[in-house]
Chain A
């Protein structure tokens, strides 16, 4: 999948740990870890809304489409 999750970048910018984010967003550490490591297959809007609210950012700051990676995957 060519969707890149930059959650760790935003967490570093806001100086927030995964534990803290998990508590504030209300999602388990395991699920956040799945998202952070790029293993998630889908994200709910409610989750994205909560993350953006807590990290004070836009969805585009968290999610990025890597067209170059998709091309490499196709090769």
Chain B
């Protein structure tokens, strides 16, 4: 069973690394194409992975900038969370999972995911606001916010289960 768990953790670590690199590339590419679009406006029609923000660019440059920068920040946050997951999985492989550092790591991931959710909602609200003002082509560009359920479950896990696990672990360590 332990060998299977280790294998799963290794697989998840690799997956987290792929996600980390992917989000870094996404953020970097978005930032680069945004800078290019300031010089060559036609670039706004084909940002990273075919993202078309040309209507926003034509509407108002400031709104266009805030929208793209929000997307870059969201990618950076996702990359940061992926990196924290890598750190968490590495710590779990090192020893007992019920340690202060692991709980702190999970708390950090929870807080960052909550920040990600708030920023995603802000992004979606901005898109809706722009759509209401007549900017076309933004209907299918809003991002999913359902992952708040995962944040809530993770929070309960960190606050209740991990803390109780730490208490039991500490008692076990002082049991002879």
Contacts and interface: CB of A to CB of B under 8 A. Distances in A.
Contacts of B139: none
Contacts of B174: 34, 39-42
Interface in B156-176: 171, 174-176
A12 interface: no
Nearest to A27: B176
A71 interface: no
A32 B174 CA distance: 10
Contacts of A35: 176
Contacts of A42: 171, 174-176
Contacts of B176: 27, 31-32, 34-35, 40, 42-44, 47
A47 B175 CA distance: 10
A31 B176 CA distance: 6
A39 B171 CA distance: 11
A47 B176 CA distance: 7
Contacts of A44: 175-176
- What interface size band does chain B fall in? under 10
Interface string A19-62: 00000000100011011000111111001000000000000000
A35 B175 CA distance: 9
Contacts of A31: 176
B91 to A, nearest CB: 23
B162 to A, nearest CB: 20
Most A Cβ at <10 Å: residue of B171, B174, B175, B176:
B176
Interface of B: 171, 174-176
22 contacts: A27-B176, A31-B176, A32-B176, A34-B174, A34-B176, A35-B176, A39-B174, A40-B174, A40-B175, A40-B176, A41-B171, A41-B174, A41-B175, A42-B171, A42-B174, A42-B175, A42-B176, A43-B175, A43-B176, A44-B175, A44-B176, A47-B176
Given A34-B176, A40-B174, A41-B174, 15 more contacts: A27-B176, A32-B176, A34-B174, A35-B176, A40-B175, A40-B176, A41-B175, A42-B171, A42-B174, A42-B175, A42-B176, A43-B175, A44-B175, A44-B176, A47-B176
